[in-house]
Amino acid sequence: MPFLQASWQDLVMVNWEVSPDLLTPLMPEGCSLDFFEGKTFVSLVAFLFKETRVLGMKIPAHVNFEEVNLRFYVRHETDQGEQRRGVVFVKEFVPRRLIAWTARNLYQEPYSCLPMSHLREKQTSGQTKIRYQWGDHWLSGLAGSESKQLEVGSLQHFIAEHYWGYTSTKGGTRQYRVDHPTWRWRSFDEFQSKIDFVELYGEKWTFLGQKEPTNLFLAVGSEVSVSPWGRL
C-alpha cells in the first residue's frame, strides 16, 4: 500500500531559469541537476490536497488542505542504469502543524506551517480564477478555459513530468516515488502575485521577486500515490 494517497488539484506552477551554481549546494548525494535545453529551473508550486489518506486512512481535519513549495529538478542514475527524474524541495508550507511537524521530524523534509487559504471561481467566460494565500503572501491568476495535453519536449512537460522525490537526511539521501497519470494543463490569461522571497526562503532567493517568471501554467491534477523507496 502507498504511504500517501490523495487528489492533487489546481497546481499553479511558476517557473524561473536560475544559475546551476545556486542549486548545486542543495543537491542530495547521488543526484545531479536535470537540465532543460541546457538550463536549470526552480518552480514555486501551489496546489490542493483533497481526500488525503495516510496508509489508507483519513486523518480528521487533515484530509483537505493547501501546500506551497519551492523546488528544483534533478536526476538519479540507478546501479542498473535507469534514469530517474525527480524533484528536490527547498521548502514546503502547509496549514496543519501536525503535517509540518511529522514531515520535518520523522522524514527530515523541509516543511513549515503558515495559515493558508485558496479560492476557485468559475467565470462565465469559461475561465477559472485561482488564488492561493499563505501568511501574507499570495498569488492569483485567471486560467484559460481550454486544457491541453503536455507536449513532449515542451517546458511544461519538463516541469510536470518528474516522478521521484529526493531528500538529504542525516542517514543519506531518501527517495520516494509519486505516481499519477500525465496531467493536462491550462495557460494563464492574467496573473499577479505578492511574495516576499527573502522572508520565506532567505537572502539568496531575493532575485525571484525581482524578475518575471520564465513560464507559468496551471496543471489540472489527478489522483496521486506516494511510495517510499528507502535510501540511495
pLDDT digits (tens, 9 = 90+) for 54-112: 989 999 989 999 999 999 999 999 999 999 999 999 999 999 999 999 999 988 999 99
Average pLDDT on 119-129 reads: 96
Enter the CATH code of domain 4-231.
2.40.400.10
Rounded Cα–Cα distance for residues 26 and 90 (Å): 8
In the chain, the percentage of residues whose pLDDT exceeds 90 is 93
Provide the 8-state DSSP code for 168: E
User: What are the distances in angstroms from CA 134 to CA 24, 109, 159?
Assistant: 28, 19, 23
The arithmetic mean of pLDDT across residues 194-207, rounded, is 97
Note the pLDDT tens digit of each residue in 165-187: 999 998 899 999 999 999 999 99
Q: What is the pLDDT of residue 72?
A: 98
pLDDT of residue 61: 87
Q: pTM of this prediction? A: 0.96
